[in-house]
């Protein structure tokens, strides 16, 4: 395999894009290629960029095939359902005789196409078909009447709890204030009684 050679412009592009490109995966690709352009071996570039050796090999192969612009591109394949080829016939079948449950729809799809799908996949397919045909039900923004009654009851219970907590805190505050007043009155009485005793003692000593 021919040794890679790089121009000063390519090195500058690697150096710039490894920081300034908006996608982190592209930044990593540019980091690897920048290290290789500086003379690092593939193994050292993998170690310095914290990637595996096969990853470096893929980046190099992509660069050899498409250049710098190829390093910025992704070719992610979106999986396609096998039911897509039978979509028209299934739509017609369900339009004439709609299934009552997802399990029934899954069974009828298997009978018609030979393709077996789980309930989740069948439900997703039915939603896609109904949305494209404009048959999807609009979700009501209003809650059911029973749900509204429960909501009102919860609000009432919540208000009652708040009111009860308010009275409990008020009663505690009253009790604390009353206790502090009793303590203050006791201190005042004790202080006045002690003062009277001391005054009487001084009077007795002075008369003696």
Displacement of CA 96 from its chain's centroid (Å): 41
Residues 8-38 have pLDDT tens digits of: 999 999 999 999 998 999 999 999 999 999 9
User: Which contacts (CB < 8 Å, 24+ apart) does range 123-126 have?
Assistant: 125/81, 125/83, 126/94, 126/102
Per-domain boundaries in the chain: 8-71, 82-133, 146-185
Q: Using CA atoms, how far apart are residues 63 and 35, in angstroms rounded to an integer? A: 14
Cα–Cα distances (Å) from 15 to 68, 73, 105, in that order, read 12, 18, 56
Q: What is the pTM of this model?
A: 0.39
Residues 46-79 have pLDDT tens digits of: 999 999 999 999 999 999 988 999 898 876 555 5
């Amino acid at each position: 395999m021919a040794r890679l050679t790089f121009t000063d412009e390519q090195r500058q592009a690697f150096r710039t894009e490894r920081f300034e490109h908006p996608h982190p995966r592209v930044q990593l690709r540019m980091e690897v290629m920048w290290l290789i352009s500086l003379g690092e071996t593939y193994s050292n570039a993998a170690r310095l960029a914290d990637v595996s050796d096969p990853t470096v090999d893929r980046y190099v192969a992509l660069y050899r095939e498409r250049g710098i612009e190829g390093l910025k591109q992704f070719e992610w394949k979106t999986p396609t359902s096998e039911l897509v080829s039978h979509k028209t016939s299934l739509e017609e079948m369900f339009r004439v005789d709609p299934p009552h449950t997802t399990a029934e729809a899954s069974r009828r799809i298997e009978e018609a196409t030979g393709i077996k799908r789980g309930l989740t996949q069948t439900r997703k397919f039915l939603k896609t078909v109904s949305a494209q045909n404009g048959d999807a039900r609009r979700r009501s923004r209003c809650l059911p009447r029973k749900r509204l009654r429960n909501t009102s009851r919860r609000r009432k219970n919540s208000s009652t709890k708040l009111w009860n907590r308010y009275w409990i805190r008020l009663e505690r505050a009253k009790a604390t204030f009353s206790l502090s007043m009793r303590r203050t009155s006791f201190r005042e009485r004790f202080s006045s009684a002690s003062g009277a005793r001391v005054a009487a003692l001084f009077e007795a000593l002075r008369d003696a």
